Amino acid sequence: MILSLRIKNFYSLRDEVVIDFTANMNSRNSRNAQPNSLIDFHGDKFVNIIGLFGGNAAGKSNLIKAMDYCRNLILTSHLNNEGDELGNVSFKFGGNMPSEFYIDFVTDGIEYEYSFEIYGGVITSEELYYYPNKRKSRIFSRTETTSYYFKKGVIPRPSEVVANTGPKTLFLSRASSMQKEIAQKVFRFFLNEMMVGRGSVDLSNLSVAEFENDKKLLLMGLEVCDSDIIDITLSENMSGQLILQSFHRENPELPFDFIKEESDGTKSLLTLLIIILRKITAGATFFIDEFDLKLHLRLAEFILDLVRSSKSAQMVFTSHNPLLIDTDSLRPEQIVFVSKQSDGNSEFVSLAEFVGINKIKDIRQAYLQGRFDGVPYIGSARSLISEITLNHEKA
């Protein structure tokens, strides 16, 4: 479970962007309690879903890209060689600043805070703290690329790891690859409990038994979108190859090759459902850009309900669909508006930060009217189109 994250100087995220999952239990702006939106950790409440809304090129996707970059660097930087590039893309419109990544998370019931900075193509700082007895304690810190501090006894023989950690390698990544236990625990969180992107249906990663266990929910999802698919089967042929087939109401005996013959929307839905169902019981956090792409509104809501029902999973998603801005199912702190400022910086502001939202009867309509700075210009373009058309006719 993620408690909060901070990103700075990555693509259009020039200033520090904070995504905080902490539930605002004392807010006067709270429209309703939404108990299904809350996860308990040591008596504190955290939300399970955060939606990022805003116009095209506002910067919503860059938050997802930042988390993907952060995760990939943790999982792969121990493989970096001298000539490899870190691939970090910093804010281009002025300033020469480090890129900063921070994530506060829980795994195996223990809270950790992990952060690192990149500047000039190398890792300039890195820190890992944890709360073994609900009190913050530093595991290690790294400054100026090569200067380290270690808490005694937590990481055995840390100098061995340091000797094998270059300026383009995260110490955490190297320590995990060298079988240091606490580093492996953190590494596995990013590997197994944090998912970025929607992925694709990879039959080789499915098991027939797991598929059968989930089939009822998969069919329910298809039923929600008024699909005429009444059954899906996963079987193994004589060559050991897995075959995914669907069967339709018109002829229940006629099999369809699901991958080749079903629509993109249906495949997108099944992919999301399979990914979520496989990770949801582990309390994974999903970061998905335009998760409702090619999905009916009812399907998008169905997927969000799956996350809510787990009581431990989380999702951060981006969307252009204003119909998902629903204060009957999302708390104000779960709705974040993203807008591009005149200097190119992306600004993230949650609905909870706006004063007097309880006085607004229709939040969705207020958003479409531009009251939260997260929607592109929607005025009439009729006169401009007429002028352009007239000029073309004259030409």
pLDDT for 32 beyond 70: no
Please give the single-letter amino acid code of residue 200. Answer: S
Average pLDDT score, the chain: 87
> What is the pLDDT confidence band of residue 393, given thresholds at 50, 70 and 90?
low
Q: 343 or 373: which carries more pLDDT confidence? A: 343
**Cβ–Cβ under 8 Å, residues 77 and 168:** yes
**Chain segment 234-247, per-residue pLDDT in tens:** 988 888 888 899 99
**Phi/psi at 189 (nearest 5 deg)?**
-60, -50
Locate tokens 């061995």: which residue?
Answer: 160
**Cβ–Cβ under 8 Å, residues 45 and 29:** no
Q: 224 or 60: which carries more pLDDT confidence? A: 60
Say which range, 127-131, 216-220, 222-226, 249-253, has the weakest mean pLDDT: 222-226
Locate tokens 């018109």: which residue?
Answer: 250
> What is the pLDDT confidence band of residue 278, given thresholds at 50, 70 and 90?
confident
Q: What residue spans of 280-328 are helical by DSSP H?
A: 297-310
Dump the DSSP string for 137-196: EEEEEEETTTEEEE-TTTSSSHHHHHHT--TTS-HHHHHHHTT-HHHHHHHHHHHHSEEE
pLDDT for 376 beyond 60: no
| Cβ neighbour number for residue 208 with a 10 Å cutoff | 12
| C-alpha distances out from residue 197 to 61, 96, 120, 372, Å | 11, 30, 28, 27
Where in the chain is CATH 3.40.50?
1-193+283-395
Mean pLDDT on 166-189? 96
Locate tokens 């970061």: which residue?
Answer: 287
**Chain segment 93-140, per-residue pLDDT in tens:** 766 889 999 999 999 999 999 999 999 889 999 999 999 988 999 999
Q: 225 or 372: which carries more pLDDT confidence? A: 372
Cα-to-chain-centroid distance, residue 227: 28
CATH architecture designation of domain 1-193+283-395: 3-Layer(aba) Sandwich (3.40)
Torsion of CA 230, 233, 238, 240, to 10 degrees: 150
pLDDT for 338 beyond 60: yes
* pLDDT for residue 199: 64
Mean pLDDT on 206-221? 84
